[in-house]
């Protein structure tokens, strides 16, 4: 199963000015993230302290990644990178060494 590293950032232009509204928005975000983790859609999630950004790890297909990311549109932007494990790197190196 493929793994993807997702870097996310909340769109500041879409944020409210009121602290209570901001807290409500974060609670909704956290609830959706928790639901994704409990369902297995998201393997890991974290926020970078002092910023409006963080990361997620999604295991599955490109469609699974789209399902996760589209839940947060248009409030969150994403950068998605596929991950390759050490086993796959070693496999590539062995094949490359054979020519």
What CATH number did the domain enclosing 25 receive?
3.30.70.1060
Number of other residues whose CB lies within 10 A of the CB of residue 50: 6
Q: CA angle, 24 as apex, 7 and 58 as ends, to 5°?
A: 25
pLDDT at 1 over 80: yes
- pLDDT number for residue 84: 95
> What is the per-residue pLDDT across 23-61, written as a single tens digit (0 to 9) for each?
998 999 999 999 999 999 999 999 999 999 999 999 999
Contact 31, 72 (CB under 8 A): no
Q: pTM for this structure?
A: 0.86
User: Which candidate, 50, 53, 42, places its Cα nearest to that of 5?
Assistant: 42
How many structural domains does the chain have? 1
Domain that holds residue 62: 2-98
């Amino acid at each position: 199963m493929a793994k993807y590293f997702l870097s996310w950032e909340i769109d500041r232009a879409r944020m409210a000015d009121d602290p209570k509204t901001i807290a409500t928005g974060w609670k909704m975000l956290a609830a959706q993230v928790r639901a994704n983790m409990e369902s297995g859609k998201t393997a890991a999630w974290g926020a970078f302290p002092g910023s409006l950004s963080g990361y997620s790890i999604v295991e599955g297909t490109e469609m699974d990644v789209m399902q996760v990311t589209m839940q947060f549109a248009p409030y969150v932007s994403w950068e998605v990178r596929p991950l390759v494990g050490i086993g796959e790197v070693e496999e590539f190196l062995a094949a490359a060494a054979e020519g």
